[in-house]
Structure 1
Amino acid sequence: MFLAIRTEIGCSVVLYHMSDFFVEVWYSPEDNQIALVHGFERRELLEPYLEMIDLAELIR
């Protein structure tokens, strides 16, 4: 499920929720390529998104 998008160091960073974990996909428009796919479970890594999305339904 798509949750949010932000910009970081020239990349578009898209956050997805994948049932039991989250995934960030870093896309570089300069190279027109995916630069990184980062999966994680630690809620602390959601900090950059907290003002953009309501995670109440996902984190129970």
Structure 2
Amino acid sequence: MNLNQFNRQPLEQRTDLILRHGTYLAVRYRSQYVIRLYHFNSFFAEVWFEPRRDRFVLARSLCNHTGLHPYLDQVNISDILQQ
């Protein structure tokens, strides 16, 4: 699945794809959300979870490296970026 196909999927399917087939890399916290970073196929994706409501609220691809900055102190992604 490429990036465009992924982005066209509904939230539930994007979340399921990432959780089942993505490689977990890191976690961060923002306000009431737990945000997990995954490597999926040829791109990175975040899954936003709201524990208070026990639901996923966002599953998004990161289209550029700027979105990875919050994670760089937790994980070394240089090997993945060279592929």
Both proteins in one fold, TM over 0.5: yes
| Band of TM-score, shorter chain | over 0.9
Cα RMSD after superposing both structures: 0.8
- Which of 24, 32, 35 in structure 1 is aligned with 2:46? 24
TM-score (norm 1): 0.93
TM-score (norm 2): 0.69
Counterparts of 1:53 and 1:47, CA distance in 2: 10
Q: Between Structure 1 and Structure 2, which shows a larger proportion of strand residues?
A: 1
Structure 1 residue runs of 5 or longer lacking an equivalent are none
Task: Write out per-residue CA displacement over residues 5-59 of structure 1, whole angstroms, 9 at most, x where no aligned residue.
Answer: 1101110000000121111000000100001111123011100000000001111
Q: Which has the larger radius of gyration?
A: 2
Identity over aligned pairs, percent: 28
| 1:45-60 equivalences in 2 (<5 Å) | 45-60=67-82
- Tell me the number of residue pairs that the alignment of Structure 1 and Structure 2 aligns: 60
Counterparts of 2:63 and 2:75, CA distance in 1: 17
Q: Between Structure 1 and Structure 2, which shows a larger proportion of helix residues?
A: 2
Structure 2 residue runs of 5 or longer lacking an equivalent are 1-22
Partner of 1:14: 36
